[in-house]
Each structure stands twice: as C-alpha cells, then as structure tokens.
Amino acid sequence: MADDISYQTWTTLTSTPGETESLAERLGRLLQPGDVIALVGELGSGKTLFSQGLAQGLEVPESFYITSPTFAIINEYPGRIAFYHLDLYRVDSVAELSELGLEEILYGQGAVAIEWAERLGENLPGERLEVHLAFSDESSRSLIFHAFGANAKQRLATLVFSYESADDKS
Ligand SMILES: Nc1ncnc2c1ncn2[C@@H]1O[C@H](COP(=O)(O)OP(=O)(O)OP(=O)(O)O)[C@@H](O)[C@H]1O
Ligand SMILES: [Mg+2]
C-alpha cells in the first residue's frame, strides 16, 4: 500500500542537539490533525529530542515535557492539537499495540510521533513523514526526511523552505 504513494526526500545535518530540537519545533508548528511523524534511528540518535521539539512546535505546555527514556508506550499531550508520542522500543508485537488503541491514534485527529516506527512494519500508515536520524559524530546528526503522501510532502516542502530561508537556524 505504502508503495503506491510517491515520496519526496530532503537531507540535512545538525551540529548540536539544539539544532535538531529547533528543526523539529519548526516542523511541529506546521503539523495538522492526522499527521504522522515516523522516527527511525539507533539508540541515542535523537528521536526523543526530535519529539520534544515537535511538542514545542505543537505548543504542548512545558509542564508536560516528554521524558526520556519513556516507560509508557503511548503518551498523549495537550497542545494546539492533541499530540501522541509513541515509543515502540519495548513493544514485542503489534497485537499488543492494537489493544492499546493504536489504530484510533494513527488515523485520528491528533499529531503523532513514533520512535522506532519501523517496528510497525506494514501497519505504518501509508501517509507519513519519516525522519531517519543517524550519527555523524558525537554532536552532529544526519537527518533524512521521506515524505509519503500529499500532506507529508506539503509539510516537508514548507519546512525546507522556512528552514533554508532562515538566517538563524535555531
Ligand atoms: N545534533 C544532535 N542532534 C540530536 N541529539 C544530539 C545531537 N548531538 C548530540 N546529541 C545527543 O544525543 C542524545 C539523543 O538522545 P535521544 O534520547 O533523543 O535519542 P533517542 O534516539 O530517543 O534514543 P533511544 O533510542 O534510546 O530512545 C542526547 O543526549 C543529545 O544531547
Ligand atoms: Mg528515545
């Protein structure tokens, strides 16, 4: 199913944790109900930090700050729109997730960020913005975005335009 959707790609490099967070915040400001951000990358690559940036852009109050490591698989935060943060690291099976109401969240009216999103396999929504984070060196990361579907492509295009036209990337 996901293969039917054409996609668009953008790659960037961040030199500090703050740069990753503010890039994510910039994206968070653009998110609309139903948007899914699929975060892929090894331990410590920056998925939680990216999620925290999204939360800021979605105007989640700081008192609800996303914690790392996360012990709950699904957390819901109030913001400009509802924000669901999923961390699938400890999930053994997708069946376990359907018991937690995964479908309703993935196809609902909130914005969703999923750490270890690749664990959803074919249950990952066809329409999504994937962010692949990888170590470049200790304090820099490469971020590769793949936008699947019209909405994700639109978010990515807007993000790239606003990021590249900003003098101060922070
Ligand atoms: N350019 C950078 N972007 C993001 N994080 C960075 C960067 N440079 C260094 N870091 C550090 O890398 C760590 C990223 O941690 P984070 O918890 O976000 O990773 P994670 O991918 O969620 O890991 P896990 O798989 O354990 O959940 C933080 O300690 C952060 O300070
Ligand atoms: Mg994490």
pLDDT of residue 159: 97
Average pLDDT for the chain: 91
Tokens of 121: 């396999």
Ligand 2 centroid to Cα of residue 143, in Å, is 15
pLDDT of residue 143: 98
Query: Reduced to 3 states, what is the DSSP secondary structure of residue 76?
Result: strand
Residues in the chain: 170
Tokens of 133: 């984070």
What would the mean pLDDT of 100-107 be, rounded to a whole number?
Answer: 92
Q: Which of 49, 68, 131, 136 to mutate to test the pocket of ligand 1 (most atoms within 8 A of CB)?
A: 49
Cβ-Cβ contacts under 8 Å for 113 (sequence gap 6 or more): 37, 39, 50, 51, 54, 83, 84, 85, 86
If 0-12 CB within 10 Å is exposed, 13-18 middle and 19+ buried, where does residue 148 land? Answer: buried
Ligand 2 centroid to Cα of residue 89, in Å, is 8
Among 3.40.30.10, 3.40.50.300, 3.30.450.20, 2.120.10.90, what is the CATH number of 16-136? 3.40.50.300
Residue 70 banded pLDDT, cuts 50, 70, 90: low
Contact 158, 30 (CB under 8 A): yes
What would the mean pLDDT of 54-73 be, rounded to a whole number?
Answer: 81
Ligand 1 centroid to Cα of residue 68, in Å, is 10
Tokens of 145: 């975005």
Residue 128 banded pLDDT, cuts 50, 70, 90: very high
pLDDT of residue 1: 44
Residue 129 banded pLDDT, cuts 50, 70, 90: very high
Partners of 84 in beta bridges:
76, 112
The full set of domain ranges for the chain reads 16-136
Cβ-Cβ contacts under 8 Å for 80 (sequence gap 6 or more): 58, 59
Residue 63 banded pLDDT, cuts 50, 70, 90: confident
The number of the ligand nearest the C-alpha atom of 12 reads 1
pLDDT of residue 68: 56
